[in-house]
Structure 1
């Protein structure tokens, strides 16, 4: 009964669930103690509500958002507590002037909060730029400084907590029957609120000095004219978050190694928060009309990692060649979408990708498909370089439930918990890496995901004594946190200020930072795996450890139909595809290319012990030869390297675009106003 309640409230841990219950209990107790009246009970409940509320914001933000959706937002909670305080004062027969003053202070505080919010929105509107920029010098744009962080960031929390002096003063007055502290508390709360309001009002005049849209775009076009980008990576997704930006981040290092000058074009402002480290110029242009004003006369090739409605805004650039490169090579329908016909070329990893598109008869011209490999797979170590640990390590990486039941390939719902239970019975170590979108559409998937986490955590506790780590003079957690902060700094994720401030401070990078980035990531991974021990189960959910580092740790992969499997093929290690519908082996292998080198796991997991023999007894690995054959079919040959083939494809298409431009008469502006995305017929992106 409690598990469905946790899922409904979006609470991820039992500790968070306990805090949520404590918050509810404190608010239930406040009116009871106010009506009795019971001063010390009210003080205790009030203190608990303040502390627990703040804690839940840090550890269970999804639950706080759910409360807001249920109309129990932060303002409502603070207002309810303050009103109940006044009710307590009435029940304890506080003097009328004290009650009247308290009511006035409470009303004035919330009135000033409304005015503060209005001014905050005015400043945000005035400072909103048509573009946001990274790694280009926008110092000449004349963008004013952002308001001080104390006034602008998390202002609601700051303003609401100014009720603390009033709260404490009135409770002190009720406890002592002397009202000096009460008057002082009223004055401090009212005075600080007014002071912050006046300070923010002074920032409005500065914000109004923000340059007009035309001036900002003109400055950006001067920078683009100096840089002269030839290749653009274009990305859009309506609900951008870290869950989707992997589609861009996976291509950054490949772009940095091109012969041509690359540019990254993003369409959603939230993208910047999750963009990885790069020395490349990055432009975020939310509106199609502003995108149409960018001057990119040297642009020859536009690369698209996903299918999105806003792609049409760039596809109308007739002078450039447009290429769908995707964000993984899987057997899902999205990897052979008819929508891809709108692009000039489709770049796939190997022959398998070409054949997948050819199944869509009369849709994609074979000449438009180019095999370029997967440059991102270089960090994956071969099985011959792998050193096994004391226990077989199984990486279970199920895909998510998809946008609909038609494209639902996840094994979590039909067999996920049974599979993990069987793995634990086999005495192996489990690395569980769910897809970032797991549980977004299906509550069943979310419940299975939570159950697996709890099973692994319980088994870790049983193994704790055997997994005791040696004492170390160095605290790995603190060093890992330092590394994360430096990685965020290199990626530009911890820059202070809004988009306008970050654009104001944008400069060309003095160095690439890639060597330091890779060294820090390697050190972080070394500390992470040594800290957790060689036998401890792990639930991997963040950007670190990376997926490919999990590949390098694993002896075998268990996954569903997804690009994760195609990438793992590069290691030549054994891997397993879940066959949740118990299709005949021949039918399953015929339907999914990557099944050609896979062990197939039935829904009841009866084949699991025999499959694990391929790890425990490496000589007993009947699918080894099939994996070697499949690797070239799916990912292409080892020579020339994927990076060389990708670079050659860019250069060849750029030369073709130049030739076609020379054959045509000049057409004026490069970008023209785009069509409505709804009429473009493009599908939403499909995470692999």
Structure 2
């Protein structure tokens, strides 16, 4: 695991600040208590001695911190040292003068405490005042030094370690996701980026994702805040990939307009994130097929045709095609609903109806194996948690017809469920389009009660069997899909519309277009689709 110097600074900085603040608070409390304590000269002597010891703690920790930073920087950056004008190390002359003044004042207080109580008290007050000046000076200086040192250290780490170790990285993957507990967007694309055979590294904006990724890949991972982003990209980098529309992306896009900024997204669906106007800020949009390009135009998000590149969905390489024979006596159904979105135009989730839908499928006259996997975001919503409790009970119920229910958690790869399933039940989401690659039948929920005209805005639905609002017709449609399957021809047409690389091996177009863009030789011929004409 490669260690980022930025992390060392963050880890070491907190104890120093706490020790200084703690010592300062204790001294202030002693000072406030002094007038109310009936102390003899001997006790005042002990009091002054204790104050000296307390005051020395933050001074010592400050020196030790600076020394630690010097050692850590040398060990991480090799023989290269950060220039003095970037981040000076050690105490300034003013700091040293304050330390001497504090020491002299305390020594004077000790001597005076043996002679005159009043003079000792004045000396003690003076020494504490000088210490406060020293502490305030160093706290502010720590903050200033920390900003410069982190920037310089990250730059040193990047150029001295990442660039040298990787023979000059050619691209980076930028990831920010405050609402995710795991870096799933990165993991989705990581195997295909690594397969390019070109040196790169990953930039994360949240510390929780740094440690999660570092344990899963040998690719270097750097934690960076917005002001540091320009520093962590060496001149050899030409391209940055992204997998979501996070606000954190803008700092890098605006800070480095000279680079190619490629939006991959973390799924292709008919939901608003897949036709967001935010997409306009990227240099290129990688899409699975012409369905994705149509989607922008249909929603009046006008993007020049040359910004699109049809590359398919590399992830579908692991999806097995539909069997030519019919399912066995027990039909296997995978049910993967989306999560309850934040906005009305994204509320496609059938989660509140899921228990009823599952119960209907499992209570029929044929045995059905139901594999249910909720969206990871569903665990964060209190209402969703209640629905999940009902779903667990329905899945675990014993059935006289031999039906079986399974609840799959985050660790289960959806593609494994696609491969085991004969039929999919899902909402309007990227799950439908990924499953569509298999050619197997799928059922689409309709919790918003869209009519036929409204459903035209969601072309991925057109190749599936449509449930009613509460899923009352679920079992009927499962039987139909597993038997005669009258939607097959339309489903295969929808599949061709969704995937523009069906005449290529999965990931072939993605690899070719990615390398061409990174190396600066992309001709833009992956798609000549004119989005403007669609909009008109």
Asked if Structure 1 and Structure 2 have the same fold, meaning a TM-score greater than 0.5 normalized by the shorter chain, the answer is yes
Rounded to whole Å, the distance in 2 between the matches of 1:252 and 1:269 is 19
Whether the 8 Å contact between 1:267 and 1:285 is mirrored in structure 2 is yes
Structure 2 runs not aligned, ≥5 long: 1-57, 70-74, 81-147, 524-536
Rounded to whole Å, the distance in 2 between the matches of 1:621 and 1:454 is 31
What secondary structure does 1:395 align onto? strand
Taking a change above 3 Å as real, the CA distance of residues 382 and 138 of structure 1, as seen in their structure-2 partners, is farther
Whether the 8 Å contact between 1:230 and 1:301 is mirrored in structure 2 is yes
1:613 pairs, out of 479, 487, 503, with 479
Q: 1:440 is matched with which residue?
A: 380
Q: 2:273 is matched with which residue?
A: 334
Taking a change above 3 Å as real, the CA distance of residues 141 and 283 of structure 1, as seen in their structure-2 partners, is farther
Whether the 8 Å contact between 2:371 and 2:405 is mirrored in structure 1 is yes
Structure 1 residue 587 and structure 2 residue 525: aligned? no
Taking a change above 3 Å as real, the CA distance of residues 542 and 360 of structure 1, as seen in their structure-2 partners, is closer
After superposition, what is the alpha-carbon deviation per residue over 1:169-219, rounded to whole angstroms, capped at 9, x for unaligned? xxxxxxxxxxxxxxxxxxxxxxxxxxxxxxxxxxxxxxxxxx954346413
Q: 1:374 is matched with which residue?
A: 313
Structure 1 residue 319 and structure 2 residue 258: aligned? yes
Q: 1:272 is matched with which residue?
A: 210
Q: Report deviation, 1:249.
A: 0.5
Q: 1:569 is matched with which residue?
A: 436
Q: Report deviation, 1:640.
A: 2.1
Tell me how large the CA RMSD over aligned residues is: 3.4
After superposition, what is the alpha-carbon deviation per residue over 1:148-182, rounded to whole angstroms, capped at 9, x for unaligned? xxxxxxxxxxxxxxxxxxxxxxxxxxxxxxxxxxx
Rounded to whole Å, the distance in 2 between the matches of 1:128 and 1:633 is 59
Q: Report deviation, 1:385.
A: 7.3
Rounded to whole Å, the distance in 1 between the matches of 2:225 and 2:197 is 30
The structure with higher relative contact order (CA 8 Å, sep 6+) is 1
After superposition, what is the alpha-carbon deviation per residue over 1:308-347, rounded to whole angstroms, capped at 9, x for unaligned? 1111221121221111110000000110000110111111
Q: Report deviation, 1:445.
A: 2.7
Whether the 8 Å contact between 1:400 and 1:439 is mirrored in structure 2 is no
Whether the 8 Å contact between 1:301 and 1:653 is mirrored in structure 2 is yes
Q: 1:508 is matched with which residue?
A: none
Q: 1:540 is matched with which residue?
A: 408
- 1:464-479 alignment runs, 5 A limit: none
1:359 pairs, out of 285, 292, 298, with 298
- 1:169-188 alignment runs, 5 A limit: none
Rounded to whole Å, the distance in 2 between the matches of 1:126 and 1:401 is 49
Q: Report deviation, 1:259.
A: 4.4
Q: Report deviation, 1:377.
A: 0.9
- 1:219-618 alignment runs, 5 A limit: 219-226=157-164, 227=166, 228-242=168-182, 245-275=183-213, 279-315=217-253, 316-361=255-300, 363-384=302-323, 388-413=327-352, 415-426=353-364, 427-441=367-381, 443-459=382-398, 536-543=404-411, 545-584=412-451, 586-617=452-483
Q: 2:489 is matched with which residue?
A: 625
Q: Report deviation, 1:621.
A: 0.5
Taking a change above 3 Å as real, the CA distance of residues 636 and 563 of structure 1, as seen in their structure-2 partners, is same
Rounded to whole Å, the distance in 1 between the matches of 2:375 and 2:324 is 27
Rounded to whole Å, the distance in 2 between the matches of 1:607 and 1:439 is 28
After superposition, what is the alpha-carbon deviation per residue over 1:364-393, rounded to whole angstroms, capped at 9, x for unaligned? 112211111000111111112788454111
Taking a change above 3 Å as real, the CA distance of residues 640 and 630 of structure 1, as seen in their structure-2 partners, is same
Q: Report deviation, 1:630.
A: 1.3
Structure 1 runs not aligned, ≥5 long: 1-117, 130-136, 143-210, 467-534, 660-688
Structure 1 residue 649 and structure 2 residue 517: aligned? no
Further displaced range: 396-405 or 354-363: 354-363
Q: Report deviation, 1:230.
A: 1.1
Whether the 8 Å contact between 1:328 and 1:563 is mirrored in structure 2 is yes
Whether the 8 Å contact between 1:336 and 1:360 is mirrored in structure 2 is yes
What secondary structure does 1:629 align onto? helix
What secondary structure does 1:650 align onto? helix
Rounded to whole Å, the distance in 2 between the matches of 1:421 and 1:287 is 48
Rounded to whole Å, the distance in 2 between the matches of 1:407 and 1:604 is 18
- 1:31-42 alignment runs, 5 A limit: none
- Structure index of larger Rg: 2
**Aligned residues, how many?**
388
After superposition, what is the alpha-carbon deviation per residue over 1:417-448, rounded to whole angstroms, capped at 9, x for unaligned? 2211211212411111010111534x433222
Rounded to whole Å, the distance in 1 between the matches of 2:422 and 2:511 is 32
Taking a change above 3 Å as real, the CA distance of residues 613 and 128 of structure 1, as seen in their structure-2 partners, is farther
Whether the 8 Å contact between 2:214 and 2:220 is mirrored in structure 1 is no
Whether the 8 Å contact between 1:249 and 1:276 is mirrored in structure 2 is no
**Structure 1: which 4+ aligned runs deviate by more than 6 Å?**
125-129
Rounded to whole Å, the distance in 2 between the matches of 1:377 and 1:272 is 27
Taking a change above 3 Å as real, the CA distance of residues 593 and 274 of structure 1, as seen in their structure-2 partners, is farther
What secondary structure does 2:476 align onto? helix
Q: 2:99 is matched with which residue?
A: none
Taking a change above 3 Å as real, the CA distance of residues 569 and 295 of structure 1, as seen in their structure-2 partners, is closer
Q: Report deviation, 1:277.
A: 6.8
Whether the 8 Å contact between 2:368 and 2:404 is mirrored in structure 1 is no
After superposition, what is the alpha-carbon deviation per residue over 1:603-635, rounded to whole angstroms, capped at 9, x for unaligned? 243432331224542xx0011111211112112
